[in-house]
C-alpha cells in the first residue's frame, strides 16, 4: 500500500471521529438548554463547582490524583495555578473539591 493511501485513510478515520464528536456535542448542548431545577440547585454547592472547575481545567490533561491530604492538595493546586493559568477563584473552588 503506498504511503499517500495509508495517510489519506488515517486522516479520513480521524476526521470521521471528529465529525461524530462534533455532532454528539451539538446534540448534548441542545439537551443542556432544557431547564433542570434539581441540577441547578446542586450546582450551587462549592465542592461540586470545584469538581466542575477541575474537569474544565485540570481534567483536560489528567485525571484527579488519588487520595491527597489537604497540605498536598494545596501544593498541587498552586502548581497547577501556574501551569494551567488558573484564577484565584478556580484555585479556591478546586481545593474545596480535592480537600473538602
Partner 1 sequence: MFVRFLSFLLLLLCSAVTLCAQVETPIISGGVQFLSTTAGGVTTFNPLIAPVVSIPIGDRFLIESRGTFDEFIFRENGTSGPYHAHTFSSVDYLQLDFIANSHVTIVVGDFLTPFNIYNERIGPVWIRNLADSPLIAGIGTRTSGSSEGGMVRGVAVSRKNWQITYAAYFSALVNASQFGAGRSAGERVAIFVPSTRLEVGMSYQRFLQHQHLNSWGGYLVWEPRSAPLELRAEYAHTRGGQGYWIEGAYRLSQFRGPGSWLGRLQAVARVEQFYLGTPSPDDVLPGADTQKVNLGLNYYLPHNLRVNGSYGRQFSSLGNSNIWNVGVTYRFLFPLLPGGSK
Footprint on this chain of partner 1 (rule: CB under 8 A): 3, 6-7, 10-11, 13-14, 17-18, 21-22, 24-25, 27-29, 55-57, 59-62, 65-66, 68-72, 74-76, 78-79, 81-89
**Computed from CA positions of residues 73, 90, 30, 18, in that sequence, does the dihedral angle turn out positive or negative?**
negative
Q: Indicate the residue among 10 and 43 with the shorter CB distance to partner 1.
A: 10
CB of 85 to partner 1, least distance (A): 4
Which residues does 81 contact at the CB level (< 8 Å), separation at least 6? 90, 91
C-alpha span between 41 and 88 (Å, rounded): 24
Contact in structure between 76 and 68 (CB atoms under 8 Å): yes
Q: State the minimum distance, in angstroms, from the CB of residue 45 to partner 1.
A: 18
User: Please, what is the minimum distance in Å from the beta carbon of residue 41 to partner 1?
Assistant: 19
Amino acid at each position: 500500500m503506498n504511503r499517500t493511501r495509508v495517510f489519506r485513510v488515517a486522516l479520513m478515520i480521524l476526521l470521521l471521529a471528529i465529525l461524530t464528536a462534533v455532532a454528539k456535542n451539538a446534540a448534548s448542548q441542545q439537551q443542556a438548554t432544557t431547564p433542570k431545577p434539581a441540577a441547578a440547585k446542586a450546582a450551587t454547592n462549592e465542592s461540586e463547582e470545584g469538581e466542575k472547575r477541575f474537569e474544565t481545567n485540570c481534567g483536560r490533561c489528567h485525571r484527579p490524583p488519588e487520595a491527597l491530604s489537604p497540605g498536598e492538595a494545596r501544593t498541587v493546586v498552586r502548581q497547577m495555578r501556574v501551569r494551567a493559568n488558573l484564577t484565584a477563584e478556580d484555585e479556591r473552588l478546586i481545593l474545596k473539591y480535592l480537600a473538602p
